[in-house]
Amino acid sequence: MKKLLLSMVAVATFAFTTQAQTEKGNTMLGGNVGFNSSKTDGAAKADVNFRIVPTVGYFVSDNFAIGTGIGYNYYKKVSTNNLNQALEVSPFGRYYLDLSDQFKFFGQLSVPMAFGNNKLVDNEGNVADDKYASTTRIGVNFAPGFAFFPTKRIGIELSVNGLDYNNYTVKNELTGNKVETNSFGLDANTFAPKLGVMFHF
């Protein structure tokens, strides 16, 4: 009888801890880090892209969190003689739907923004001192996904890009002329999902 009671307490405790990650008052931490280098035939230097965006969210109610990502993007393209550097900010809201004790479906609505500048890059990879244009990117993205919680503190996530809108503006610093590009689409590519980890406290 004692062993049965201990087993029931252990099961109840495990069920509680797996459900506790998305309760009101909890915090989740994660982010995005990426690095890519590619070299075009005949080019003296490779194109380099580096991006880091830490993310923090707070559960304002059970299963609903709001938060933001703040980071930096560096994209040096010797192949097109351009360097773009940008500060990124991405506020979001995320809602979880329980599928079981350890599996949850979630939908995340975010407003990614990037504010940066362009500088000229010569064929040897040297960067000019002065910027020749400022850049602004503002978008709206809805991304669905699934989260698996093997422990109370860790959520392993699988998601797709989903529905996406972007406005990208490049302003020439000398002439003041602006070039604006708008894009809208659905990119729920299940053959190229995003895998991530969130830490819950």
- pLDDT tens-digit map of 136-177: 999 999 999 999 999 888 999 988 878 889 999 999 988 889
| Interatomic CA distance for residues 113 and 60, integer angstroms | 23
- pLDDT tens-digit map of 9-35: 333 333 333 456 889 999 999 988 888
How far CA 67 is from CA of 28, 70, 80, 110, 145, in Å, comes to 9, 10, 36, 9, 17
**Nearest residue to 161 (alpha-carbon basis) of 91, 109, 99:** 109
**How many residues are given for the chain?**
201
Most confident of 35-44, 131-140, 173-182: 131-140
In the predicted model, what is the mean pLDDT of residues 98-116?
93
Please report the pLDDT score of residue 116 as a whole number: 95
